Structure 1
Amino acid sequence: MTLMTPFRPAPDLVRLRPAGTRHGAARGLRRAIGPVLLLALWQLASMTGVLPAEVLAAPSTVVGSAAGLIGTGELQAAIAVSLQRVLAGLAIGGGIGVLLAVTAGLTRLGEDLVDAPMQMLRTVPNVALIPLLIIWLGIGEAPKIALIALATAFPLYINVYAGIRGVDQTLVEAARTLGMGRAALVRHVILPGALPNALVGFRYALGVAWLALVFGEQINATAGIGYLMATAREFFQTDVIVVCLVVYALLGLAVDFIVRLLERSLLAWRPSFTGT
């Protein structure tokens, strides 16, 4: 009679789990060293007078100013306004960019009509268009959103177009051999193949959107993070300016994290190199 023994994992597997945990914790500590050291040097320079307050406020002063703005609700209101502008501009510009990219990528006629004008327009600095946007759209919300839309349309167009044209021709021919129609081919082969490039373009467009927002909120803004910065500049409040810059950075980091999550879920079928 054979006695049943409980299953025990292999020793190698048992050892791998703690090692991975330790490795992840070590990486987290290494990532934190740089920012913590920078903040410590910044605070030390402010306390010793090497970095005067009128040039750049100390981190402790910046934290106090941020707490004060949060306490009054001014910072939350500014973030909400700026987020609305970014999302509206991204929706308009991203939608136009993707539509034009699909048109140019799927058909030669679309490429002939769309690609050349887009390649010319993308080299025009968006900041140089601010005077024209003010003349055309006034000084309200429209020019701010239009500037963000222009900034985000081109990264998405270039990456989606490149992704469509970069699909392996062998896969396309195999799908046609199996009797797949044009609509099914686009849906099941071309668009999934272009998705990695599209997500890269979306990630880049989000970063550019915040840069365009900085310039857009200088156009007669009465609310938003840029308005807070402009007001602080008038009164030489370097602490408030730094708070606004940190908010810009944190918002950019947050949206980048969201895109990374999208990449992990939508591209789970495509294993990629993660470093050594």
Structure 2
Amino acid sequence: MAQLLPWLLPVTFLALWQLSVSSGLITSSLVPSPWAVFQDGVDLWQAGTLPTNISISLYRATVGFVIGGGLGFLLGLLNGLSKRSRALLDTPLQMLRNIPHLSLIPVVIILLGIGETAKISLVAIGVLFPIYINTYHGIANSDSELLEMGRSYGLSKWQLFSKIIFPGALPTILMGVRYGLGIMWTTLIVAETMSSNSGIGYMATNAQEFMDMKTVLLCIVLYALLGKLSDLIAKGLESTFLAWRTKGVTIND
């Protein structure tokens, strides 16, 4: 029962939506029913359009996340461990972090054009800062008492990092990964509307021009499902790497 509970509200919403369209409360030409959207998805899948565009969007999202997330992690690690690096790099990074990354679209287009590099770069920029700030915060705020205890036992710098600093920072780092995965998809939605000819965002924009509401809603549902899949991956990483951590206490089950 507990495993089905998270899906209760989405399924209820879909049922009410289907019932409203079937009963005529909502005009089907304006808002198609969930079943019509599903049938549209089946048709596009059989035609090969849907799997092609999903795979392209997944490629852009994955590459952008790896580049931006990897760079954010390395910078957070470097600035968290080194006071000199922190003094040099943290201020400019914090200044850049406060610039809405989607406002950089005109700059990205001028510098990189409208190809794959531009779209992946936007995703990378969006993902970089949440992972950087969480990694930096987790590393820089290591438990000083545990570090002192480690030094008293004669642990080397690498042992202090691998046994105390990094494990202690891991929950915060994974929180940044989870947040970054959400930003990855919201950024990609916008990036794929930039003179694109492929991807889920392109499908939605193209369908909008032809007033094809079934495909527009299908793309929205796809983004929601991919976002949920990303969240499940993040939770899986937390379960794998934080198995040692005591589970949170709930007031009322």
Which TM-score band (shorter chain)?
over 0.9
TM-score (norm 2): 0.95
Whole-Å separation in 1 of the counterparts to 2:171 and 2:122: 26
Alignment equivalent of 1:102, drawn from 68, 77, 96: 77
Whole-Å separation in 1 of the counterparts to 2:136 and 2:37: 44
Quote the offset at 1:260 in angstroms.
Answer: 1.0
Does residue 230 of structure 2 align to residue 255 of structure 1? yes
Quote the offset at 1:165 in angstroms.
Answer: 1.8
Whole-Å separation in 2 of the counterparts to 1:49 and 1:131: 44
Instruction: Check the 8 A contact 1:155/1:205 in 2, yes or no.
Output: yes
In structure 2, the residue matched to 1:40 is 15
Whole-Å separation in 2 of the counterparts to 1:113 and 1:87: 30
Whole-Å separation in 1 of the counterparts to 2:226 and 2:32: 22
Alignment equivalent of 2:58, drawn from 62, 83, 86: 83
Whole-Å separation in 1 of the counterparts to 2:249 and 2:218: 34
In structure 1, the residue matched to 2:244 is 269
Does residue 178 of structure 2 align to residue 200 of structure 1? no
Q: How does 1:134-213 map to 2 (within 5 A)?
A: 134-213=109-188
Q: Where does structure 1 differ by over 4 angstroms across 4 or more consecutive aligned residues?
A: none
Alignment equivalent of 2:191, drawn from 216, 229, 237: 216
Structure 2 residue runs without a partner (length 5+): none
Does residue 53 of structure 2 align to residue 74 of structure 1? no
Of 178-187 and 226-235, more deviation after overlay is shown by 178-187
TM-score (norm 1): 0.87
Shift in alpha-carbon separation, 1:273–1:63, aligned structure 2, 3 A: same
Quote the offset at 1:35 in angstroms.
Answer: 2.2
Whole-Å separation in 2 of the counterparts to 1:108 and 1:49: 65
Quote the offset at 1:139 in angstroms.
Answer: 1.1
Does residue 218 of structure 2 align to residue 243 of structure 1? yes
Find the structure with the greater CA-based Rg.
1
TM-superposition CA deviations, 1:164-196 (whole Å, max 9, x none)? 122110111111111112222112211111111
Quote the offset at 1:274 in angstroms.
Answer: 5.2
Q: Which AA in structure 2 matches 1:218?
A: T
TM-superposition CA deviations, 1:84-118 (whole Å, max 9, x none)? 00111011101110111111101111111121111
TM-superposition CA deviations, 1:35-89 (whole Å, max 9, x none)? 2321222122222333223432111211110111111121111110001001110
Shift in alpha-carbon separation, 1:109–1:242, aligned structure 2, 3 A: same
- Provide the aligned C-alpha RMSD in A: 1.4
Alignment equivalent of 1:123, drawn from 98, 104, 120: 98
Quote the offset at 1:220 in angstroms.
Answer: 1.4
The count of corresponding residues between Structure 1 and Structure 2 is 251
